[in-house]
Amino acid sequence: MSVVDVVVVGAGFAGLGMAGALHRAGRDDVVIIERAGDVGGTWRDNTYPGVACDVPAHLYSYAAHPHAGWSRTFAEGHEIQQYLRDVAAGVGERIRLHTPLVGAEWDADTSVWHIDTGAEVLQARSLVLACGRLTEPHVPAIDGLESFAGPLFHSARWDHDVDLAGKRVAVVGTGASAVQLVPELARRAAHVTLFQRTPAWIVPRGGGEIPAAERERLAENPGALARLRAELYTEGEARFASRSGDVAASTAARDTALAHLHAQVADPALREALTPDYAFGCKRVLLSDAFYPAVASGRVTLEPSALDRVDGSMLTAASGRQHEADVLVLATGFASTQQPYADLVRGEDGTLAEHWSEGMTSFGSTVVAGFPNLFVLNGPNASLGHNSAVLMIEEQAAYVVRALAERDRRPDRVLRVRPAAEAAYTDEIAAAAASTPWMTGGCRNWYVDERSGRLTLLWPGTVQAFHERLTGTDGSEFEPAHTPVRG
């Protein structure tokens, strides 16, 4: 059986970004496996009404694949999906659709990864997990949920066969998906009941359609498109201060959010129910100009407590109040801190899930001790709360390319992360995060692993700081090379 140089798992933003970086480095001995029948990851799976990105489209795209034709400041899901399809066309036959990761195991005798897809076992010198962090919907344990009498589905698995006209629709959750979804449901359904466990900080979204003339100008002037991307990057980096606890910046941002709430919700009692009681930035800050007007329209009933129990069509909140619904939508997020693929990957001493039993750890947010020649994109401490996640993917992909060059210089062609390097990086993250709202802001968020209380998803710094951290590595994060014994 031939050995592939690199197998990449996943054909979303991370996987396609990795494939592109490898191609530009002259590395085309690559196979990308994707469990679904199309590329796109998050933007393939999330098709709920109103789905769109909350990062400006010209920055939520690859630097190597600028796109002048975005129709809106914040691109809708279908347009992002098409963009990724266009990017994937350049990867060609290296993508294998309908090819899931069933298991992966490091073979110490041959120094290769065995990747089981169910139909075949691939062998690769290096394995890149680009599986995404928001792939498996989280379904909360709600008493009697299975008894619900009507259509029941998660927002990331939208059932387009369900006609919402004239229906009473209940939505559980007020996170990023719900904030986009609820205004659309309010226009379509007879009535919407929204179960809110915790209100979110919401700031104005702005933006809108990009005029055709502006799109033509950007297409004809690549320099202008590059300058626009640079401006958006700088604006995003500036937001880090308000998200990470800078007193002046977070106070100003909090005031903006409260003014936005007061301008759009006249009822004092409703405003109070929608006002967070935790620090700005502790949870993901949301962007919307439509959510508050929808909630205040009379077409939405805000239930300011969690859904506690389901009995047929009767939904009982933690407050004890009861609401009837014909359709139930769970906008309840994803399995994020405990990644589903971790159980499938076995290194030198056990699985990733076992290694991460107290929360994800790594060096450089990309490589993990005990898992030679393995790279993880969008995994431990690689998310952002202030700027485009694509920027982080690009930095990680560049690090992987450099690491592979280091691998090829070694006689054994094996990179083993020093446990001490991983521990030091984990301590570095903890120290940087200790005083931030993510740790001290008085909320529960999906950035922190409840098993250890550590910040395991967010990078507690700017994109520039991440760039400097990764480009500043010198290979000393890896064990010294071993010379193979020749018989």
DSSP for 128-192, written as a single string: EE---SS-SB-----BTGGG-SS-EEEGGG--TTS--BT-EEEEE--SHHHHHHHHHHHHHBSEE
Q: Which pLDDT does position 486 carry in this prediction?
A: 42
Task: Report the percentage of the chain scoring pLDDT > 70.
Answer: 99
Is 483 a residue whose pLDDT tops 70? no
Average pLDDT, integer, range 74-84: 98
Q: 262: which 2 tokens?
A: 């007061």
Q: pLDDT at position 487, please?
A: 40
pTM: 0.96
pLDDT confidence of residue 134: 75
108 burial level (CB within 10 Å; 0-12, 13-18, 19+):
exposed
Task: Give the Å distances, CA to CA, from 180 to 56, 75, 191, 244.
Answer: 15, 13, 16, 24
Taking 3-state DSSP, the helix, strand and coil percentages for the chain, each rounded to the nearest 5, stand at 35, 20, 45
Q: Per-residue pLDDT tens for 344-371? A: 999 999 999 999 999 999 999 999 999 9
∠ at Cα 422 (418, 428), nearest 5°? 140
Residues 299 and 342 in one domain: no
Calpha distance 378→12 (Å, rounded): 11
* pLDDT of the residue at 135: 77
Q: Are residues 467 and 394 in the same domain?
A: yes
- 193 and 79 share one domain: no
| 129, 152: one domain | no
Give the chain's length. 487
Q: How many CB atoms lie within 10 A of CB 314?
A: 15
Please check whether residue 358 lies inside any domain of the structure. Answer: yes
Q: Find where tokens 């859904």 sit.
A: 307
Higher-pLDDT residue of 273 and 1 is 273
Half-sphere exposure of 91 (CA within 13 A, CB side): 27
CATH number where 309 lies: 3.50.50.60
On whether both 117 and 165 belong to a single domain, the answer is no
Residues 94 and 153 in one domain: no
- The reply to whether 299 and 174 lie within a common domain is yes
314 in a domain, yes or no?
yes
CA 144/CA 198 separation, integer angstroms: 22
In a domain, 276, yes or no: no
pLDDT of 437 higher than 50: yes
What local confidence, expressed as pLDDT, does residue 36 receive?
96
Q: Same domain for 294 and 380?
A: no
Q: Give the model's confidence band at 336: pLDDT under 50 very low, under 70 low, under 90 confident, else very high.
A: confident
Point out the domain boundary residue: 294, 312, 330. 330
Task: Count the domains in the chain.
Answer: 2
- Residue 154 shares a structural domain with residue 112: no
Distance CA 415, CA 134 (A): 28
45 and 114 in a single domain? The answer is yes
pLDDT in tens, 206-226: 999 999 999 999 999 999 999
In a domain, 359, yes or no: yes
| pLDDT above 90 for 93 | no
Structure tokens at 303: 């239930």
The reply to whether 56 and 128 lie within a common domain is yes
What's the CA gap between 130 and 381, in Å, rounded?
14
The tokens describing 66, both together, are 């600028």
Task: Tell me if 384 is assigned to some domain.
Answer: yes
Domain range enclosing 453: 4-135+335-471
Q: β-strand 454-455 against 448-449: which pairing, if any?
A: antiparallel
**What is the predicted pLDDT for the residue at 339?**
85
Q: Is residue 248 part of a domain?
A: no
Residue 173 and residue 112 share a domain = no
Q: How far is CA 198 from the centre of its chain?
A: 20
Per-residue pLDDT band at 1 (split at 50, 70, 90)? low
Q: Is residue 350 part of a domain?
A: yes
Residue 464 lies in a domain: yes
